[in-house]
Structure 1
Amino acid sequence: MGIQVISRDGQPEYAVVPWEQYQALLRAAGQAPAEAVSSEAQGVAASAPLPAFSEVAQIRQAKGIAPEQLARNVGVSPAYLAMIESGERQPDAAIRRALAWHLGVAGWSEPS
């Protein structure tokens, strides 16, 4: 497997390299080689409870994001965001992904 370049809007944004090449790059840069994360360690992180969607307001406030700004970024109306925050509505998969992205809650973007 060679290097894979991922572009956005015609410009290179990411490069995906095989693990051994990544380790060689780290050594060449004078950094310690990275440790592979075991599936057991990933399972521990994955088993941490996810916040409920009714906690969106608390997470949003902790990040200093205005409700209107989050609603605009997620692509919903401020009224619909208020319904999600109050627990009155459950967001669909696309809105969950957008909320996960903007609030930094990775587990919300995965299928339930």
Structure 2
Amino acid sequence: MDLQVISRDGEPEYAVLPWAHYQALLQAAGVARPQETASTFQSAESTASASVDFPSFDQLGSLRQAKGLELAQLARSVGISPSYLELIENGTRQPDAAIRRSLAWELGVPGWRGEP
């Protein structure tokens, strides 16, 4: 089985496996779940990322500081280097959707968890 384990702080946190293997595991466990296609999943993912109302990135440093987080601490939590986070904060780089979602999650930005 093709499996990728993602660790944080030396402890396994996520397991990533191919969709077909996931479906087979659900079936073996007796979990009734309709087969979703990759396009259905991607559509749901783009809807979810579009619903994140993230403040403009020129406010990111202020928001991080207001939460009492050091740049390196937030970068590690998000899974990027501190230098890359610094580039995002100063407007040199624009993060992709996954990094935006992670930043929103770590900073508790409303909208990510369905908060009003």
| RMSD of equivalent CA atoms | 2.8
Residue segments in structure 2 that go unaligned for 5+ positions in a row: 1-12, 15-50
CA contact (8 A) 2:54 2:104 kept: no
Determine the structure 2 residue equivalent to 1:105.
109
Measured after TM superposition, the shift of residue 106 of structure 1 is 3.3
CA contact (8 A) 1:96 1:108 kept: no
Residue segments in structure 1 that go unaligned for 5+ positions in a row: 1-7, 10-45
Q: Does 1:69 align with 2:79?
A: no
Map 1:1-112 onto structure 2 (within 5 A).
50-107=54-111
Measured after TM superposition, the shift of residue 107 of structure 1 is 4.2
Structure possessing the higher radius of gyration over alpha carbons: 1
Q: What amino acid maps onto 2:88 in structure 1?
A: I
Cα distance per residue 1:16-58 (max 9 Å; x no partner): xxxxxxxxxxxxxxxxxxxxxxxxxxxxxx8xx7520121100
- Judged with a 3 Å threshold, the aligned counterparts in structure 2 of structure 1 residues 64 and 87 are, in CA distance, closer, same or farther, namely same
What's the TM-score, normalizing by structure 2?
Answer: 0.49
Cα distance per residue 1:47-93 (max 9 Å; x no partner): xx752012110000001001000000001000000000001111101
CA contact (8 A) 1:54 1:85 kept: yes
Give the whole-Å Cα distance in 2 for the aligned partners of 1:54 and 1:75.
20
CA contact (8 A) 1:73 1:102 kept: yes
What's the TM-score, normalizing by structure 1?
Answer: 0.50
Secondary structure of the corresponding residue to residue 80 of structure 2? coil
Give the whole-Å Cα distance in 1 for the aligned partners of 2:61 and 2:90.
8
- Larger relative CO (CA 8 A, sep 6+): 1 or 2? 2
Q: What amino acid maps onto 2:95 in structure 1?
A: P
CA contact (8 A) 1:97 1:108 kept: yes
